[in-house]
Amino acid sequence: MDASHQAENVLEMERISKRFGQVWVLKNVNVAVRRGSIHAIVGHNGAGKSTLMKIALGAERPTEGDVRVAGRQLTYSRPAEARTLGLGMVMQERSLIRTLNGLDNLYLNSEHKTAAGLVNRHRQRAEIAQLLEELAIPRVLLSTIASDMSTIEQELIEIARALRLGSQVLVLDEPTAPLGREEIARLFGVLRTIAARRAGIVIITHHLAEVFAVSDMVTCLREGEVVLQCPTKDTNMTGLIAAMLGRRPWEGAHLPVHGGRGKRVEMVAASASRPKPQASLKVRNLRVGRKLADVSFEAFPGEVLGIVGLAGSGRTTLLRTLFGDVRQSGGEILLRGRRYRPNSPQDAMAQGAFLIPEDRGIHGLMLAKSIAENIALVVLRRLVGNLGLLRFSEGRGLAQRMMRTLDVRASGIDQAVRELSGGNQQKVVLAKALTLAPDLLLLDEPTFGVDIGATHEIIANVRLMAEKGTTVLWASSDLLEMTHVADRIIVLRDGIIGAAIGPDEADKFTEDALVAMMQRRQFEAIAAAGGANRVGG
């Protein structure tokens, strides 16, 4: 890289490789972000985007390669080094303290103090005033408690804080996921203003149309390598999807032989001669705050209904609402013909529903407890004898049967769940579902972080539950897996159903088609034009 280019690059990542154990998650990655530009980084889940940004932030040290911020080498000698050099980051998960106002959040852990050691809020207000004015952020937010702010107001405070601490490079991870149409347009206007201040911006996103709406350059990662890097105007949506997916073939060993694709063929062949079954789950005009708007669909006994959508689409909110963990604000749900409106997860389980959550360590398991205790907990009432005493032997026998059924690899039923591998932990969660034998099984990323063998077994056992009459809703960001597991698929987009794919629509059961259907329609025309006339351009 010649000196003139280096002078214009505010972030340089050269020959970056990263290995975890024997697995290379990044391989010889080069990214240069120019001053005054917006650089989008895209890629499928597991492509290496997050690891690359952790390296830029100094949270991970590369196995090979160099990082420079505003021309200065990152040495990884101290935690806040990248920030000191001028790099700020806004994470996907909000980091504001909800009980503090905007000013206190902006200066949290970096407060200006008086000689007496008190927080000098007068100085802080004066210092931040110009930045707020440049970004058109209302000053009233300085005195507004974070919990009283709208989503876009919280994001703007996050951006202002990142810029205050790191004014050279701003990195944003999925910044538009929780935002509405007008809020996204406002955010993009702010980003163009920041770029005009000669900062460099990196935006990580799954919303591909937004790449064309706001970015100048785009880098696409696939399996840890750069597969596309060019000015945004030189590519289009089709080219970006093709680069992201790489037309990688399906590895059949991941799935049981009786999985989705063959089942769909059977469903289509039988549809003409077999009467349509009664829907076991009917969702009508379901609304949940700003997360879901008039969602309506049906699911049937014995089928796996796939649910896909990008971050912020409402996918997890839908499952949590059906499990009583989130309150609906409108609409109607019928389960097995009865009105269904659970007010808690316990109530949902009592009415025949069970959720295998995305984060099994927080919501699905008691990690410090044994396998036997975790499995028996869901049927505790069944294990209470006539005298009110627990029948421990029956609970232990149940746990042993489930371990054999699901091939849980452990020293025994008394082993703590936290000592198991990710795949075996997920099998314990599935064992709880099998024990409960629910009418409605809800799965949120059930194979995430699970090895190939365990994935095969999980899919096979979920299929067996479906064949016995359970209605299965399977939400996943692994689209290739979804095309083989699901009988039908609904696509959520910004809290509404953007598309529904039936078993006879084979041309739509592809990664390419699903990625395209998941995109927001707000910037569709810009994406079709390959980035011409982008927002703020």
pLDDT at site 104: 95
CA–CA separation, 301 and 154 (whole Å): 42
Query: Mean per-residue pLDDT for 515-537?
Result: 66
Report the half-sphere exposure of 19 (CA within 13 A, side-chain side). Answer: 7
Smallest CA-to-CA distance from 319 within 453, 476, 535, 433 is with 476
Residue 279 has pLDDT above 70, yes or no: yes
Smallest CA-to-CA distance from 300 within 109, 103, 487, 444 is with 487
Most distant CA pair in the chain: distance in Å?
85
Pairwise pLDDT comparison (514 vs 532), residue with the higher score: 514
pLDDT tens track for 355-411: 988 766 556 677 788 888 888 776 666 655 555 555 667 778 878 888 888 788 888
Q: Counting Cβ atoms within 10 Å, is residue 146 exposed (0-12), middle (13-18) or buried (19+)?
A: buried
292-299 β-sheet, strand order: 292-299, 281-288, 330-335, 338-339
Cβ atoms of 494 and 484 closer than 8 Å: no
Q: Which residues are CB-neighbours of 82 under 8 A, at least 6 positions away?
A: 56, 57, 58, 67, 69, 74, 166
3-state class (DSSP) for residue 13:
strand
pLDDT tens track for 487-503: 999 999 888 999 999 88
Q: Residue 477's CB: how many other CB atoms inside 10 A?
A: 19
pLDDT confidence bin for 139, thresholds 50/70/90: very high
Cβ atoms of 322 and 440 closer than 8 Å: yes
Cβ atoms of 375 and 428 closer than 8 Å: yes
Fold of 252-504: Rossmann fold (3.40.50)
Q: Where do the CATH 3.40.50.300 domains begin and end in the chain?
A: 1-86+168-248+520-537, 252-504
H or E segment and range at residue 306: strand 304-308
Q: Counting Cβ atoms within 10 Å, is residue 431 exposed (0-12), middle (13-18) or buried (19+)?
A: buried
Query: CA angle, 316 as apex, 310 and 321 as ends, to 5°?
Result: 145
Cβ atoms of 212 and 230 closer than 8 Å: no
Q: Which of 2.30.30.40, 3.40.50.2000, 3.40.50.720, 3.40.50.300 would CATH assign to domain 1-86+168-248+520-537?
A: 3.40.50.300
Pairwise pLDDT comparison (441 vs 407), residue with the higher score: 441
Q: Counting Cβ atoms within 10 Å, is residue 264 exposed (0-12), middle (13-18) or buried (19+)?
A: buried
